[in-house]
Amino acid sequence: MNFDERKYVLVAAVVLICIVFVLRLFWIQVVDDSWTARAADISERKITVFPSRGLILDRDGGLLVANTPVYDIMVVPREVKNLDTLGLSQLLNVPMDQVRERLRKASEYSVWKPSEFEKQITAEQYAAVSVHLYKYPGFYGQSRTLRTYPPHLAAHMLGYLSEVSARKVEQDPYYKPGDVIGVGGLESYYEKDLRGKRGVKYVVVDVHNNIQGPFKGGQFDTLAYAGKNLYTSIDAKVQALGERLMRNKKGSIVALDPKTGEVIALVSSPTYDPELLVGRVRNTNYRILQQDSLNPLFDRALQAQYPPGSIFKLVQASIALQEGVINLNTGFPCNKALVGCHNHPNARNVEEAVQMSCNPYFYQVFKREIEQNKDPDRFKDAALGMAEWRPYVESFGLGSPPHMDLPALKGGSIPGVKYYNKMYGPLGWAFSTIYSLSIGQGEMLVVPTQMANIAAIFANRGYYYDPHVVRAIGSPDSLKTGIQRHETMVDDQWFPPIVEGMRRVVNEPGGTARLARIPGITVCGKTGTAQNPHGKDHAVFIAFAPMEDPKIAIAVYVENSGFGGTWAAPIASLCMEQYLTDSISRPDLEKRMEEANLIADEGNYVKFVSKRKRR
């Protein structure tokens, strides 16, 4: 073969090799997608690195909410080959039909991207599962954390975590299907602070689905940033005591530091163990709680709206003194023909009226507030009086939701001229129509948090701060700012005599809250009995202590328990003593309050709580 012939052979060989390479590339890139899958596995196989959610701590640095590690079993549908569905079902304890259904949904989402197949397996369970995962190509474990609640307290205040909704995923690009989000309480209000920022890690895996190392040295990885810790003002000992004292009772306790507005305790009863709404049993337990006749998911401290009862007499007295319709020495006979009352001597002044909680006295006070003879027509005169009265009441923080770092607060309602005009028509109502407001009944509603604010107002002699649970975010020194101070429309000079009346309520004969006394500490308080058209009346008590240097203001509401001095006052007293002295000097009273069962219909709640279901 001469040179020219060899030249053509060489050219033909080169052309043939090129054709082979082109055909092979065409086969790999167009016809055979196994190589595409492998490339996608390397470039798209990413592991989401979930950040640790911020911790929630009490005022002394103790953990209210912590994190515990769990694992999700992920699946990449395109990698699943010759799946032993029975073996996988037994390994993960997932029914066979669910194995197929979950694979179908994962494939519908994406055959290339990982989807959650089984969620929230504990570290112990994952240790047993992980050694067998190599038998199931396309399946691997991904770590994340779940919430845990070391003291098992304050479920309503803390909130819980739930899987993010599809609507939220559409609204907020941060969230992906399968993520969790705070629901209710601090978990919801401070979601953006607590959640942190997720990271991504790209890895190379072998044929057994074992991670061989980072993809390209980790140059495409991003770090996860832990969420910020919340430092609360909650006193865990007072919170625990309050929950024990309110066991088998409906109602709430709200305790504040009147000098700052910091929340010391926030109890809603019936409550539940926050661990019940964690992990794989969350949905089952939530349905049980939701269907319970006692409605333990309802936050009574923030959302229950009641008549304030006789505690509102403090507000009435303040407004009347400011308006000048009475003076400090104004007295009225206890005329039960006007409105019912218990037996006691006639109140000769404001202090005695508060001490003895005389209903006819405050009937006359309110009558003077509403009927000031500014118009000869008594209907118009009542409208003028009501128009002046309502702004005073609103300045005590009533009629609108409190500004607080918790979601879904109710604000109660304070009726006014428009309200009664709509109900009765213009000129269709007068004082005789609305006199029940004089003693905190009628169309007036407040929430327990507002009652605690009233206690703080009298502790401070005229003002209160926005109540708030979190005092610092990120570090104990990063104190929150922007806490507003709210002044009432009543001058400072009118509060001391009413405070003296509150002292007498607790500490003098004829007072209605003798069970609220604390040895060595001067407590100022006011009882209330709020009428309940559907059953036994509700017991109310607000207080603060010590008298001259108040450190705690408190409101206790016990539904269907009758007179405020019988149950609400001693419960408040025990909580105040625990906070002020770090001890209880009256164990017999504590035991009696704790063991009292004031719930007629126990429903499934007591039985359910006793089982203490955990994840």
- Residue ending a domain, choose from 195, 210, 232: 232
Residues 313 and 204 in one domain: no
3-state secondary structure labels for all residues of 236-300: HHHHHHHHHHCCCCCEEEEEECCCCCEEEEEEEECCCCHHHHCHHHHHHHHHHHHHCCCCCCCCH
The terminus-to-terminus CA distance of the chain in angstroms comes to 84
Residue 171 inside a domain? The answer is yes
Residues 157 and 274 in one domain: no
Residues 212 and 283 in one domain: no
Q: Which residue's entry shows tokens 């954390």? A: 145
Residues 346 and 401 in one domain: yes
Residues 487 and 395 in one domain: yes
Residue 576 inside a domain? The answer is yes
Residues 178 and 151 in one domain: yes
Residue 329 inside a domain? The answer is yes
| pLDDT at residue 9, as a whole number | 63
Q: How many CB atoms lie within 10 A of CB 439?
A: 32
Identify whether the C-beta of residue 442 lies closer than 8 Å to the C-beta of residue 424.
no
Residue 301 sits in a domain of what CATH number?
3.40.710.10
Kindly report the average pLDDT of the chain as a whole number. 88
Q: Which helix (H) or strand (E) holds 353?
A: helix 350-356
Please report the sign of the dihedral spanned by the C-alpha atoms of residue 380, residue 381, residue 383, residue 384.
positive
Residues 185 and 265 in one domain: no
Q: What's the domain count of the chain?
A: 2
> 530-550, pLDDT tens digit by residue?
877 677 888 999 999 999 999
Identify whether the C-beta of residue 203 lies closer than 8 Å to the C-beta of residue 174.
no
Residue 178 sits in a domain of what CATH number?
3.90.1310.10
- Residue ending a domain, choose from 198, 232, 266: 232
Residue 90 inside a domain? The answer is no
Structural domain that includes position 336: 236-609
| pLDDT at residue 70, as a whole number | 85
Instruction: Give me 56's structure tokens.
Output: 């929630």
Identify whether the C-beta of residue 74 lies closer than 8 Å to the C-beta of residue 140.
yes
| pLDDT at residue 43, as a whole number | 42
Please report the sign of the dihedral spanned by the C-alpha atoms of residue 235, residue 402, residue 422, residue 441.
positive
| pLDDT at residue 215, as a whole number | 67
- Residue ending a domain, choose from 203, 232, 261: 232
Instruction: Give me 38's structure tokens.
Output: 């492998």
Residues 253 and 153 in one domain: no
Q: What is the distance between the alpha carbons of residues 233 and 242, in angstroms, rounded to a whole number?
A: 15
3-class state of residue 362 by DSSP: helix
Residue 100 inside a domain? The answer is no
Residue 360 inside a domain? The answer is yes
Q: What is the distance between the alpha carbons of residues 92 and 271, in angstroms, rounded to a whole number?
A: 33
Identify whether the C-beta of residue 267 lies closer than 8 Å to the C-beta of residue 302.
no
Residue 79 inside a domain? The answer is no
Residues 562 and 415 in one domain: yes
Q: What is the DSSP string of 545-595?
A: ESSSS--EEEEEEETT---TTTTHHHHHHHHHHHHHHSS-S-HHHHHHHHH
Q: What is the distance between the alpha carbons of residues 404 and 534, in angstroms, rounded to a whole number?
A: 31
Residue 86 inside a domain? The answer is no
Q: What is the DSSP string of 55-69?
A: PEE-TTS-EEEEEEE
Q: How many CB atoms lie within 10 A of CB 442?
A: 15
Residues 277 and 386 in one domain: yes
Tell me, what DSSP letter sits at residue 445? B
**Alpha carbon of 326 to those of 337, 408, 565: distances in Å?**
21, 39, 28
Report which of 227, 279, 270 is spatially closest to residue 248, judged by C-alpha positions: 270
| pLDDT at residue 203, as a whole number | 73
Please report the sign of the dihedral spanned by the C-alpha atoms of residue 568, residue 570, residue 575, residue 576.
positive
Which residue ranges of the chain lie beneath pLDDT 70? Answer: 1-15, 18, 20-46, 205-220, 533, 600-615
Strands 56-57 and 230-232: parallel
3-class state of residue 2 by DSSP: coil
**Alpha carbon of 495 to those of 110, 256, 455, 458: distances in Å?**
68, 19, 12, 7
Residues 464 and 384 in one domain: yes
Residues 204 and 335 in one domain: no
